């Protein structure tokens, strides 16, 4: 019987625990996030945008203090490096191959919260949290029998099980068998 390689695309959102961040960072990500959210809300109120743009908008338009952007970028770099390293270490024994497609702090994506939302401050703070990272990867399993639905479910469960102890939260947002 031959061995088959099954590749599964996984999308995850992980939250790095505060204690891990405290060991690696000089600045508190919570303080930086709070200041960032405060400046984003002020900008939206001043220009009455009707929505909160992605972080890149504020960087390109110099709408946020330069020192704050430097702190955000430095923390983001450290956090994404920590996540990539931890995921690689934890999942390498479980899969025959792991290929990272994207690793991005959630703060760099478009927020889904609107200024009219009663809980916009809380939701923005959660969205712009520098400890939350979204990643897409391709994991390859070696199987004796090709069962794509079972492989997909197995890969999701395996990734969650192997990562849950390393992060404050792990969400598998999507999975799909490739090929």
Q: What is the pLDDT of residues 33-72, one digit of tens each?
A: 999 999 999 999 999 999 999 999 999 999 999 999 999 9
Higher pLDDT, 44 or 147: 44
Per-residue pLDDT at 59: 95
Q: What is the pLDDT of residues 10-31, one digit of tens each?
A: 999 999 999 999 999 988 999 9
d(CA 127, CA 13): 12
Q: What is the pLDDT of residues 72-113, one digit of tens each?
A: 999 999 999 999 999 999 999 999 999 999 999 999 999 999
Per-residue pLDDT at 143: 83
| Secondary structure (H, E, C), 32-50 | HHHHHHHHHHHHHHHHCCC
Per-residue pLDDT at 111: 97
**Could you say which DSSP state residue 114 is in?**
-
Of 14, 161, 146, the C-alpha closest to 94 is 161
Q: What's the mean per-residue pLDDT of the chain?
A: 95
Per-residue pLDDT at 1: 58
Q: What is the pTM of this model?
A: 0.92
């Amino acid at each position: 019987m031959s061995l088959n390689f099954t590749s599964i695309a996984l999308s995850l959102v992980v939250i790095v625990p505060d204690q891990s961040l405290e060991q690696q960072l000089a600045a508190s990500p919570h303080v930086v996030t709070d200041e960032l959210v405060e400046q984003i809300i002020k900008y939206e109120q001043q220009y009455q945008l009707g929505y909160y743009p992605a972080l890149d908008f504020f960087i390109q338009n110099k709408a946020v203090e330069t020192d704050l952007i430097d702190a955000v970028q430095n923390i983001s770099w450290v956090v994404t490096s920590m996540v990539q390293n931890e995921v690689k270490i934890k999942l390498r024994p479980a899969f025959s191959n792991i290929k990272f497609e994207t690793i991005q702090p959630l703060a760099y994506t478009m927020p889904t919260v609107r200024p009219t939302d009663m809980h916009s401050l809380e939701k923005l703070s959660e969205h712009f949290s520098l400890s939350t990272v979204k990643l897409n990867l391709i994991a390859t399993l070696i199987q004796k029998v090709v069962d794509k639905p079972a492989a997909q479910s197995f890969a999701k469960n395996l990734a969650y099980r192997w990562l849950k102890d390393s992060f404050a939260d792990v969400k598998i947002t999507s999975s799909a068998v490739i090929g």
